[in-house]
């Protein structure tokens, strides 16, 4: 296995998705494996993302690796005016793998071209967050027993939601049916509709949640953020239409699970948490196994 980077979900072939998901399953069965012994992993977080950083660091530590890095740009030399390229070239001398989070788009791609080390993209602005997509896929596969021929209902901010866009691209190779539920203002961008048509993938768009809930195998919730609305009145009117409550689960399929990339604000009512449909906290745990799988995959250790 040659070492390589994970920058964009579209770089992966179907075989690679499946390989990483199989590795994640192995790590779930046996999470503590000392395969990173003697290796140093740099977590370079140019913007804070505590959840993602801790998940990665947990994955590294469970594999017996050691960690250097920073958790926000103010504690790195970029606050002194160093260019991103220089930071990457310098830090490459100190470690065996780079995990990068940055508010600008394209940073992980650039980093992967500046260093011979593998780079894992932990989120580049609004562009890509491939490890989130893979952990979403792992959660789907684990709860449904398969990835093929599932009905996926995606709810909330479909216009700006990076996780939603990547999930659509990745799941498209598994013949899904999509239901897109969002307010008019936050509908899926045209690019994705064109992509789905070109690939003959069935999809439905609606502003109403109930029917799309009934037919779903997976309901993927996202946050509808106030700052996305030009008109604050519109936000107040629409926000309640996309809040999932326990009473709405009664008529859903027995195998249906609710996923959410977290953090949740109010779009899933807390009364859903104790139902057997709630899967978002296990999803976060799956994130650690999936990241263990990705790290060992890019380093060619498995």
Please report the sign of the dihedral spanned by the C-alpha atoms of residue 68, residue 74, residue 77, residue 82.
positive
Catalytic residue selected from 129, 162, 165, 297: 129
Cα 262 to Cα 264: distance, rounded to the nearest angstrom: 5
Quote the radius of gyration of the chain (alpha carbons, Å).
19
CB of 67 to other proteins, least distance (A): 24
80 catalytic per annotation: yes
Nearer to other proteins, 75 or 85 (CB): 85
The verdict on 83 binding other proteins (CB under 8 A) reads yes
The verdict on 109 binding other proteins (CB under 8 A) reads yes
Q: Which of 295, 3, 12, 9 is nearest to 167 (CA)?
A: 9
Structure tokens at 130: 């491939």
Burial 43-54 (b: 16+ CB within 10 A, else e): bbbbeebeebbe
The verdict on 228 binding other proteins (CB under 8 A) reads no
The verdict on 266 binding other proteins (CB under 8 A) reads no
52 catalytic per annotation: yes
CB of 105 to other proteins, least distance (A): 3
Cα 213 to Cα 217: distance, rounded to the nearest angstrom: 9
Among 34, 37, 75, 85, binds other proteins (CB under 8 A): 85
Among 127, 131, 133, 286, binds other proteins (CB under 8 A): 127
Q: Return the range that interacts with other proteins (CB under 8 A); candidates 125-133, 221-229, 239-247, 265-273.
A: 125-133
Catalytic residue selected from 53, 62, 87, 101: 101
Q: Can you state the angle between helices 107-114 and 84-91, rounded to 10 degrees?
A: 50
The verdict on 128 binding other proteins (CB under 8 A) reads yes
Respond yes or no on whether the N-terminal peptide bond of residue 148 is cis (omega within 30° of 0). no
Cα 98 to Cα 111: distance, rounded to the nearest angstrom: 9
The verdict on 232 binding other proteins (CB under 8 A) reads no
11: which residues sit within 8 A by CB, 6+ positions away? 5, 130
8 and 131 in contact (C-beta within 8 Å)?
A: no
101 catalytic per annotation: yes
CB of 270 to other proteins, least distance (A): 34
Cα 156 to Cα 159: distance, rounded to the nearest angstrom: 9
Among 82, 105, 202, 251, binds other proteins (CB under 8 A): 105
89 catalytic per annotation: no
Site for other proteins in 181-220 (CB under 8 A): 191
51 catalytic per annotation: yes
Site for other proteins in 20-79 (CB under 8 A): none
The verdict on 125 binding other proteins (CB under 8 A) reads yes
Cα 272 to Cα 40: distance, rounded to the nearest angstrom: 40
270 and 260 in contact (C-beta within 8 Å)?
A: no
Q: What is the DSSP letter of 81?
A: T
Nearer to other proteins, 131 or 292 (CB): 131
The verdict on 159 binding other proteins (CB under 8 A) reads no
Number of residues that bind other proteins (CB under 8 A): 19
Catalytic center residues: 51-52, 80, 101, 129
- Which residues bind to other proteins, rule: CB under 8 A? 8, 10, 83-85, 102-107, 109-110, 124-128, 191
């Amino acid at each position: 296995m040659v070492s390589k980077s994970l920058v964009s979900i579209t770089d992966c072939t179907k075989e690679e998705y499946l390989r990483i998901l199989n590795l994640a399953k192995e790590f779930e069965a046996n999470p503590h494996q000392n395969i990173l012994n003697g290796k140093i992993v740099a977590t370079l977080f140019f913007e804070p993302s505590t959840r993602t950083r801790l998940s990665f660091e947990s994955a590294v530590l469970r594999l017996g690796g050691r960690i250097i890095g920073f958790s926000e740009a103010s504690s790195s030399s970029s606050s002194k005016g160093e260019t991103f390229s220089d930071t990457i070239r310098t830090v490459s001398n100190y470690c065996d793998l780079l995990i990068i989070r940055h508010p600008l788009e394209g940073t992980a791609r650039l980093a992967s071209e500046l260093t011979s080390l593998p780079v894992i993209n932990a989120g580049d602005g609004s562009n890509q967050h491939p490890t989130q997509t893979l952990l979403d896929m792992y959660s789907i596969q684990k709860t449904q027993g398969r990835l093929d021929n599932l009905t996926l209902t995606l709810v909330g901010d479909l216009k700006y939601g990076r996780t939603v866009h990547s999930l659509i691209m990745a799941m498209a190779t598994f013949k899904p049916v999509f239901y897109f539920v969002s307010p008019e203002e936050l509908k899926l961008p045209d690019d994705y509709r064109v992509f789905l048509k070109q690939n003959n993938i069935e999809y439905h768009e609606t502003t109403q949640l109930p029917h799309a809930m009934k037919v779903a195998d997976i309901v993927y919730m996202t946050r509808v953020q106030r700052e996305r609305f030009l008109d604050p009145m519109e936000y107040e009117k629409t926000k309640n239409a996309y809040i999932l409550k326990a009473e709405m689960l009664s008529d859903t399929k027995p195998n249906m699970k609710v996923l959410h990339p977290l953090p949740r604000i109010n779009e899933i009512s807390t009364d859903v948490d104790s139902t057997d449909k709630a899967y978002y906290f296990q999803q976060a745990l799956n994130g650690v196994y999936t990241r263990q799988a990705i790290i060992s995959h890019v380093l060619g250790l498995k």
